[in-house]
Amino acid sequence: MLPALLSRRRFSDLSEQEIIALAISSEEDDGRIYRSYAERLRAEFPDSAKMFDGMAEEEDEHRRRLIELHKKRFGDTIPLIRREHVAGFYARRPVWLIENLGIERIREEAANMEEDARRFYLNAAKHSTDADTRKLLGDLAAAEAGHIATAHRLEQEHLTEDVKEREDQKARRQFILTWVQPGLAGLMDGSVSTLAPIFATAFATQDTWTTFLVGLAASVGAGISMGFTEAASDDGELSGRGSPVKRGFASGIMTTVGGLGHALPYLIPDFWTATWIAIFIVFVELWAIAWIQNKYMETPFFRAAFQVVLGGALVFAAGILIGSA
């Protein structure tokens, strides 16, 4: 790590030729990123893809103008220098890290890319004492500001309010199908189905450590089962529910979390203290489920609360009765 940092050049040590070369490579990288976003979105969000195609063309135009400037001032040989070679230069997040986070996050990242570049050149110009360098950096900052204006223009051109609303609704629906529905099903299963074995064990043995082990086994086992069931039940191709791996992880993890919520209090040695805390957590979990149903599934809150609390109360009562028998 330290050798990599020491090998980087400081921006203040770069010559004007190297600054232009750095701007050329940065524009080239950004153009590639925008084209990657466009390709990623083309099938589902064609209008947003057109916007990113237009932004990539703008980057190409700025790169062409910078290359012409370099040829005019320094000749045809452009030094190889990239943003990772310069200490403190803004970094770009990997495309694979952003492209799976949804269309709104991609749009936000594009805006941040242009703003980062503009702010860097503007601040660098303020700290420069050389007149020519200040002018060059100021021109680059103005170019990046122009990119931001172009992005807004392209967004207005290709993304009308109706189109943007339609794409946002589609992205929200996909998010619900891939993450919320499986996660909610897992949370409900983990929170409700583990109530009976945990509280039956608790009242049958009144041993907190044994109760915790039963709860841990039930939660982890249910999480693995739900995860594999969700992933294997539908590959997402025909239903449009998205990646089975993502759905499996969402369902499995939330199932385990739901069960562990009221199992963890039994790490407390005192039985009744642990039990009352576990009961409180159960009600928090059930109300959280009702809130998620209301927010994402548009189920009326009190109807969702009634259904979830009633079901949870029945399982909870069954566990206590069996454990007390």
DSSP-derived 3-state class of residue 281: helix
Q: Which of 134, 159, 184 is the last residue of a domain?
A: 159
- Same structural domain, 6 and 79: yes
Rounded mean pLDDT, 266-292 = 90
Domain extent at residue 221: 166-324
Q: Which of 113, 130, 159 is the last residue of a domain?
A: 159
- Same structural domain, 198 and 263: yes
Does the pLDDT value for residue 308 go beyond 90?
Answer: no
- Same structural domain, 178 and 148: no
- Same structural domain, 63 and 21: yes
- Same structural domain, 8 and 148: yes
CA distance linking residue 276 with residue 262, whole number of Å: 10
Most confident of 39-48, 81-90, 266-275, 294-303: 266-275
Lowest mean pLDDT among 45-49, 254-258, 321-325: 321-325
User: Can you give the pLDDT at residue 234?
Assistant: 75
User: How many domains does the chain fold into?
Assistant: 2
Does the pLDDT value for residue 1 go beyond 60?
Answer: no
Q: Which of 132, 159, 186 is the last residue of a domain?
A: 159
DSSP-derived 3-state class of residue 83: helix
Structure confidence at residue 126 as a pLDDT band (50, 70, 90):
confident
User: Can you give the pLDDT at residue 161?
Assistant: 61
Token pair, residue 112, equals 């941040």
Query: Mean pLDDT over all residues of the chain?
Result: 80
- Same structural domain, 144 and 199: no
- Same structural domain, 184 and 137: no
> What is the domain-level CATH number for residue 117?
1.20.1260.10
- Same structural domain, 263 and 284: yes
- Same structural domain, 27 and 47: yes
Q: Which amino acid is at 103?
A: I
- Same structural domain, 222 and 194: yes
Structure confidence at residue 157 as a pLDDT band (50, 70, 90):
low
* Tens-place pLDDT, residues 198-229: 988 998 899 999 999 999 999 999 999 988 88
pTM here is 0.55
Q: Residue 132 CA to chain centroid, in angstroms?
A: 42
- Same structural domain, 291 and 318: yes
CA distance linking residue 55 with residue 58, whole number of Å: 5
Contact by Cβ (8 Å): 286, 308: yes
User: Can you give the pLDDT at residue 256?
Assistant: 93
- Same structural domain, 145 and 219: no
Residues forming beta bridges with residue 86, ordered by sequence position: 9
User: Can you give the pLDDT at residue 127?
Assistant: 65
Structure confidence at residue 45 as a pLDDT band (50, 70, 90):
confident
